[in-house]
A and B are shown apart, each in its own frame.
Chain A
């Protein structure tokens, strides 16, 4: 396993974790842009653009792109998040050159108007689809309520109105503001020939024109708030709570994940025993998410509507108890062993490793081996967890409930 990195003259960064024993090679272009880099008028453009990138270039039609991705037997896809957009393919090592040729070509898309109008329908269908399945937008609504106008509160897919109103010209403009080579990293993991990768990247991406890109980072913070959205056709009640957490540069993110595991992992956590094992809830979980300049802890609950108020009280009690009394060393040890094992298992696949290496590089310009990451989790102490709980109290949160209930009252402490 060897880490390599370089940068082309136009600013494109190339990083790779090369493992000559791997069966596959994964390649991805990680673009440092997402919904936080949009304005309300063009909300959803990052994600729409991600779809349009597969619609052809000066050298290829949309059908050519799809056909060639299949010809090399690739497992390829793309996704858009709050602050990055990622295009990736996992292939057998002998297809490294073709995969790079294809991926680098689509990173300079034609963005043709007729494809734009057809794809707009697909995007609208995607929005309707998520509106019609659990948790019925509870996650997006809670992000919006928590971030109160902060760019991170913007819906990744956009809204029906914003997407309907998007034009091909505005997408071209957004592309020209965000897809500068200096704002993109080519990431590779698995059985990769790095020298060849750099040589080919130079040929295929070396002429991409660089320009300045900027991201506005403004402070965010939690306001205690509770919203109920009535969805008559739902059977279960879905509740999302968001509270403050460590941001992407904060070393406390390791302690935050350990804490989230102790309190709200989907098996064997405090909330699991209190709510799921007893059949009071279908699912409850706590997770930590880091961004540039902001971090959140998110709690998710799904349960029968008549149980929701009681369950929310119980969740609050679990949080308050942890904030007052901390966690035990036995809980800490158990969570650490669970996390370590999970990391080793997940990183056996080159394709999973791509996202870990890529997002770490995008967020921190840093490379860490699996061992180093595990060591960071093993170093977390009970005092660290207590500090996290006092700095980022889970009991202080913004919540959104969606489901059959028209009102939802939680008893005072």
Chain B
């Protein structure tokens, strides 16, 4: 593995990150703006997502149709998404079309039309997305879990509520755009068959004179961590369990990540073995790490028939509690092999590298190369993981269920 990540910060705050991958034919970019749903003002929940929808309806000299047509002619496989922290726009394409695509996206984030006559259609799109989440009950459980484990606004998801969406005016959208679409805190990550110097010049031309805005700090409100059951008429029960964990920026992050890997990475992981393989309790079970800048959480999920849900929750919880006793050498060896191959295989995809390096910069203020991460994984030992687990035992579980009847949350065994 031999990769380099180049960085350049412009005077206005925009950070450009690039990982040249000359063996590919493609290039990809991800542009992250500080316009995530954590910024949604109370009463206007969903405005970040609505703004993301509206900025794509014409920009610079293009109508919304011309915007899409131009990108399609360039063969840009594009996406836009709003997370808690960011509004992000990205695309992957043949490398020689990258500069033209970036020009279009510079217009998108700097001079969108935000046309009032399309506000109705944009609002309908947001309603449709909101309704679709209502039917995706597994995601719904995890959304509620996130809202309980993190203080508000850090657990917010982007879809908002029907009442708030109904209330949002074009003036609100324009204000929100002004306040959150700016270079301070923005990250442009590029990977693939690229050359660094021409890229810096091109980005300077497109974004160099973009003016930053000073944001205001957000206030936190702690949510109740009590067990919550969402009543839903179904033969299935969906279970979400979360507990606090160190964030990505913490020196012990890799110890924490490894402990969750032992729980959930691969077919020989503990949750898959105990919940599904040995007992046949469910089809899906997993645990995953989630990280904000200054805190993190482990989020676990399983979905099963209501009659078997209690046992599923009991076995899942027992595994979380057992993790306190530490991990074994052979479990760590398998995990290292899996992480290593994942890292090496990332070199086959420019798109996956853009999201990794952008997330690194946001969470760490620097980018780790694949070699850096590989070294950290090599340095892991059972001793270091078990020391971490002794200091940070999985505890204070937050539980959310969805289905036709609530479950008994097991009393933790200490």
B133 to chain A: closest residue by CB: A235
Instruction: For the complex, give the distance between the alpha carbons of A273 and B121 in Å.
Output: 11
The answer to whether residues A128 and B235 also contact, given A24-B348, A279-B128, A345-B26 and a CB cut-off of 8 A, is yes
Contact A71 B135 (CB under 8 A): no
Contact A72 B337 (CB under 8 A): yes
**Residue interface bits A142-178, CB-to-B below 8 A is 1, else 0:** 0000000000000000000000000000000000000
Among A92, A302, A338, A351, point to the contact of B344 (Cβ < 8 A).
A92
The answer to whether residues A279 and B341 also contact, given A69-B267, A129-B303 and a CB cut-off of 8 A, is no
List A residues 79-93 near B (Cβ within 8 Å): 90-92
User: Which residues of B are found within 8 Å of A71, using beta-carbon distances?
Assistant: 333-334, 337
Contact B132 A302 (CB under 8 A): yes
Closest-CB distance, A365 to chain B (whole angstroms): 28
Q: Which of B74-82, B173-181, B208-216 contacts A (4 or more CB under 8 A)?
A: B74-82
List B residues 34-88 near A (Cβ within 8 Å): 64-65, 68-69, 71-78
User: Which residues of A are found within 8 Å of B127, using beta-carbon distances?
Assistant: 279, 304
Contact A132 B72 (CB under 8 A): no
Instruction: For the complex, give the distance between the alpha carbons of A120 and B280 in Å.
Output: 8
Contact B277 A66 (CB under 8 A): yes
Instruction: For the complex, give the distance between the alpha carbons of A338 and B25 in Å.
Output: 15
Contact B283 A268 (CB under 8 A): no
Contact B268 A66 (CB under 8 A): yes
Contact A277 B93 (CB under 8 A): no
Question: Is A119 located at the chain interface by the 8 A CB criterion?
Answer: yes
Among B69, B304, B308, B337, point to the contact of A73 (Cβ < 8 A).
B337
Question: Is B413 located at the chain interface by the 8 A CB criterion?
Answer: no
Contact B341 A121 (CB under 8 A): no
Question: Is B122 located at the chain interface by the 8 A CB criterion?
Answer: yes
Instruction: For the complex, give the distance between the alpha carbons of A240 and B129 in Å.
Output: 19
Instruction: For the complex, give the distance between the alpha carbons of A65 and B277 in Å.
Output: 12
**Residue interface bits A254-296, CB-to-B below 8 A is 1, else 0:** 0000000000000110000100111111110000000000000
Closest-CB distance, B290 to chain A (whole angstroms): 22
User: Which residues of B are found within 8 Å of A54, using beta-carbon distances?
Assistant: 267
Instruction: Give chain B's interface secondary structure class.
Output: helix
Closest-CB distance, A88 to chain B (whole angstroms): 13
Instruction: For the complex, give the distance between the alpha carbons of A73 and B23 in Å.
Output: 23
Contact B234 A70 (CB under 8 A): no
A343 to chain B: closest residue by CB: B75
Among B25, B74, B267, B348, point to the contact of A344 (Cβ < 8 A).
B25
User: Which residues of B are found within 8 Å of A211, using beta-carbon distances?
Assistant: none
Instruction: For the complex, give the distance between the alpha carbons of A304 and B130 in Å.
Output: 11
Contact B121 A277 (CB under 8 A): yes
Contact B284 A234 (CB under 8 A): no
Question: Is B115 located at the chain interface by the 8 A CB criterion?
Answer: no
**Residue interface bits A59-83, CB-to-B below 8 A is 1, else 0:** 0001101110111111110000000
Contact A24 B266 (CB under 8 A): no
User: Which residues of B are found within 8 Å of A69, using beta-carbon distances?
Assistant: 266-268
**Residue interface bits A353-388, CB-to-B below 8 A is 1, else 0:** 000000000000000000000000000000000000
Instruction: For the complex, give the distance between the alpha carbons of A71 and B341 in Å.
Output: 11
Instruction: For the complex, give the distance between the alpha carbons of A73 and B72 in Å.
Output: 37
Instruction: For the complex, give the distance between the alpha carbons of A126 and B283 in Å.
Output: 5
Among A73, A133, A283, A337, point to the contact of B137 (Cβ < 8 A).
A133
User: Which residues of A are found within 8 Å of B350, using beta-carbon distances?
Assistant: 348
Instruction: For the complex, give the distance between the alpha carbons of A278 and B404 in Å.
Output: 36
User: Which residues of A are found within 8 Å of B272, using beta-carbon distances?
Assistant: 66
Closest-CB distance, B241 to chain A (whole angstroms): 18
User: Which residues of B are found within 8 Å of A342, using beta-carbon distances?
Assistant: 75, 77
Closest-CB distance, B57 to chain A (whole angstroms): 8
Contact A334 B273 (CB under 8 A): no
**Residue interface bits A91-115, CB-to-B below 8 A is 1, else 0:** 1100000000000000000000000
Chain B contact residue count (CB 8 A cutoff): 78
Contact A21 B23 (CB under 8 A): yes
Instruction: For the complex, give the distance between the alpha carbons of A281 and B350 in Å.
Output: 32
Contact B345 A90 (CB under 8 A): yes
Question: Is B329 located at the chain interface by the 8 A CB criterion?
Answer: no
Among A129, A233, A236, A345, point to the contact of B233 (Cβ < 8 A).
A233
Contact A341 B76 (CB under 8 A): yes
Contact B128 A340 (CB under 8 A): no
User: Which residues of B are found within 8 Å of A75, using beta-carbon distances?
Assistant: 341-342, 345
Instruction: For the complex, give the distance between the alpha carbons of A277 and B303 in Å.
Output: 33
Instruction: For the complex, give the distance between the alpha carbons of A304 and B410 in Å.
Output: 39
Contact A338 B75 (CB under 8 A): yes
User: Which residues of B are found within 8 Å of A14, using beta-carbon distances?
Assistant: none
Instruction: For the complex, give the distance between the alpha carbons of A153 and B179 in Å.
Output: 54
**Residue interface bits B334-349, CB-to-A below 8 A is 1, else 0:** 1101111110110111
User: Which residues of B are found within 8 Å of A302, using beta-carbon distances?
Assistant: 132
Question: Is B305 located at the chain interface by the 8 A CB criterion?
Answer: yes
Question: Is A183 located at the chain interface by the 8 A CB criterion?
Answer: no
Contact A133 B138 (CB under 8 A): yes
User: Which residues of A are found within 8 Å of B330, using beta-carbon distances?
Assistant: 67
Question: Is A214 located at the chain interface by the 8 A CB criterion?
Answer: no
Residue among B126, B233, B338 facing the most chain A CB atoms (10 A cut-off): B338
Instruction: For the complex, give the distance between the alpha carbons of A303 and B129 in Å.
Output: 10
Contact A267 B68 (CB under 8 A): yes
Closest-CB distance, B137 to chain A (whole angstroms): 7
User: Which residues of A are found within 8 Å of B23, using beta-carbon distances?
Assistant: 21
Instruction: For the complex, give the distance between the alpha carbons of A120 and B335 in Å.
Output: 29
Among A76, A129, A277, point to the contact of B236 (Cβ < 8 A).
A129
User: Which residues of A are found within 8 Å of B121, using beta-carbon distances?
Assistant: 277-279
Contact B267 A70 (CB under 8 A): yes
Closest-CB distance, B374 to chain A (whole angstroms): 12
Residue among B71, B74, B267 facing the most chain A CB atoms (10 A cut-off): B267
List B residues 272-315 near A (Cβ within 8 Å): 272-273, 276-284, 303-305, 308
A278 to chain B: closest residue by CB: B121
User: Which residues of B are found within 8 Å of A340, using beta-carbon distances?
Assistant: 75
User: Which residues of B are found within 8 Å of A304, using beta-carbon distances?
Assistant: 127-128, 131
Question: Is A316 located at the chain interface by the 8 A CB criterion?
Answer: no
Contact A344 B69 (CB under 8 A): no
User: Which residues of A are found within 8 Å of B276, using beta-carbon distances?
Assistant: 122
26 inter-chain pairs at a CB distance below 8 angstroms, sorted by A residue, are A21-B23, A24-B341, A67-B334, A69-B268, A70-B265, A74-B338, A76-B267, A90-B345, A92-B340, A92-B344, A120-B280, A132-B236, A133-B135, A133-B136, A235-B135, A236-B134, A268-B69, A268-B72, A273-B65, A277-B125, A304-B128, A337-B72, A337-B75, A338-B72, A341-B93, A345-B77
Sort A-B residue pairs by CB-CB distance and give the 10 closest, nearest first: A279-B124, A341-B75, A121-B280, A73-B337, A73-B341, A282-B128, A66-B267, A70-B266, A235-B134, A70-B334
Other A-B contacts than A24-B344, A273-B65, 17 sampled, CB-CB below 8 A, are A54-B267, A71-B333, A75-B345, A90-B341, A133-B135, A233-B233, A236-B128, A267-B78, A268-B72, A277-B125, A279-B125, A279-B128, A282-B131, A334-B69, A337-B72, A338-B75, A341-B77
Interface residues of B (CB under 8 A from A): 23-26, 64-65, 68-69, 71-78, 92-94, 120-129, 131-132, 134-138, 232-236, 265-269, 272-273, 276-284, 303-305, 308, 330, 333-335, 337-342, 344-345, 347-351
